[in-house]
């Protein structure tokens, strides 16, 4: 993201510290048992694993779901894994080495807010119970570059089902980890840490909304947002929050990280549209990371058949910023 920081800005509200990671096995078993995801043989993580031996490695490669086809080749891993936006590790693209400091096990996700029973889920159990699949998705950054990635993961809709939101819940809010000791970017107090993102329940349960756990047929590299990130391929990339530690169901729409920082440039909806320019540059074309060539940008990043109906009746909303 290109950000013009204005002088004399008020500092954002203090960053909330996420719940400390803990493993509540009984709650977890209850939650998953109640959901439709329970498979035979619930496997809880074994103590003493190191992150070198990724406990989810045995789940890869997952079978590819051919429903999600690409109109271009997959972008090679050496390109996509060395050109990342992960502001927690720096406000430039070369963060892959620094991101290796992130400790990704144990890792839990708190599920709270307007749900039947707030809980905390261990990611390895979640991955196993959800069942993983591979999808080839295009990714379009608001900065007008793009790539195509073979993600592995599971539909966000499955997590929504497990969470059992109350009828009053209208939005799903996501939060990234907060640990300035490993993520030096979080010491830059003018950013409204932790990184947050929000989608509507309808968007969260759209079949394209994907919780990503792996890339290129293996557990995803830390710079991609390990151990679990979101990918919403019809929206600008900043909506696809990395390294998620909390998922909250809420009635009122909270302001997101970028919306808080630069509301006139980065809005809530952020659906890709070549006809609606960013205030400081055109969105008509994008630079493919693989070739460096500029190609036309497509409405909803080419995923209109899947998502256009989500926005019927919302024409007065700023759907494309
Ligand atoms: N999530 C967190 N926590 N921090 C970030 O800085 N950057 C966003 C998004 N998710 C970001 C994030 C932006 S601007 C983009 S384009 C994508 O992650 C980049 O994902 P990639 O590095 O896998 O290409």
Q: Is the CB of 241 under 6 A from ligand 1?
A: yes
CB 45 within 8 A of CB 272: no
The rounded mean pLDDT for the chain is 88
Residue count of the chain, please give it.
Answer: 321
Question: In the predicted model, what is the mean pLDDT of residues 260-278?
Answer: 97
Q: Which CATH topology does 13-306 take?
A: Sulfite Oxidase; Chain A, domain 2 (3.90.420)
Instruction: Tell me the sheet residues that pair with 205.
Output: none
DSSP annotation string for 207-226: TT-EEEEEETTEEPPGGGTT
- The pair of three-digit structure tokens given for residue 99, joined into one six-digit string: 């991101």
Q: What is the model's pTM?
A: 0.87
**Domain edges within the chain:** 13-306
CB 116 within 8 A of CB 125: no
H or E segment and range at residue 171: strand 171-176
Q: Is the CB of 88 under 6 A from ligand 1?
A: yes
Q: How many CB atoms lie within 10 A of CB 143?
A: 18
b/e map 37-48, b = 16+ CB within 10 Å:
beeeeeeebeee
| 172-217 pLDDT, tens digit each | 999 999 999 999 999 999 999 999 999 999 999 999 999 999 999 9
Q: Is the CB of 193 under 6 A from ligand 1?
A: no
- Closest atom, ligand 1, to C-alpha of 139: 24
CB 11 within 8 A of CB 193: no
H or E segment and range at residue 46: none
Testing ligand 1's pocket by substitution, the residue of 84, 211, 240 carrying the most ligand atoms inside 8 A of its CB is 240
* Cα 242 to Cα 280: distance, rounded to the nearest angstrom: 25
């Amino acid at each position: 993201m290109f950000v013009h920081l204005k002088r004399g800005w008020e500092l954002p509200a203090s960053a909330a510290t996420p719940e400390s990671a803990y493993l509540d096995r009984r709650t977890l078993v209850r939650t998953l048992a109640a959901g439709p995801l329970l498979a035979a043989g619930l496997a809880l993580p074994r103590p003493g694993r190191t992150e070198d031996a990724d406990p989810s490695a045995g789940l890869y490669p997952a079978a590819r779901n051919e429903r999600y086809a690409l109109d271009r080749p997959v972008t090679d891993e050496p390109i996509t894994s060395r050109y990342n936006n992960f502001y927690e590790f720096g406000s430039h693209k070369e963060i892959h080495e620094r991101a290796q400091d992130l400790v990704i096990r144990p890792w839990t996700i708190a599920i709270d807010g307007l749900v039947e029973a707030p809980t905390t889920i261990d990611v390895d159990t979640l991955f196993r119970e959800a069942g993983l699949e591979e999808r080839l998705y295009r990714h379009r950054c608001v900065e007008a570059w793009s790539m195509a990635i073979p993600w592995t993961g599971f539909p966000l809709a499955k997590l929504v089902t497990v969470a059992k939101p109350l009828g009053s819940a209208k939005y799903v809010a996501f939060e990234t980890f907060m640990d300035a000791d490993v993520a030096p970017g979080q010491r830059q107090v003018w950013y409204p840490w932790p990184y947050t993102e929000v989608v509507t329940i309808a968007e969260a349960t759209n079949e394209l909304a994907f919780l990503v756990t792996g890339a290129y047929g293996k557990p995803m590299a830390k710079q991609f947002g390990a151990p679990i990130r979101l990918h919403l391929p019809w929206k600008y990339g900043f909506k696809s929050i990395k390294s998620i530690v909390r998922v909250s169901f809420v009635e009122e729409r909270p302001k997101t990280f970028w919306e808080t920082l630069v509301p006139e440039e980065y809005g809530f909806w952020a659906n890709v549209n070549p006809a609606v320019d960013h205030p400081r540059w055109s969105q008509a074309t994008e630079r493919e990371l693989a070739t460096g060539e500029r190609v036309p940008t497509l409405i909803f990043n080419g995923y209109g058949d899947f998502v256009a109906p989500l926005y019927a009746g919302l024409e007065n909303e700023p759907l494309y910023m």
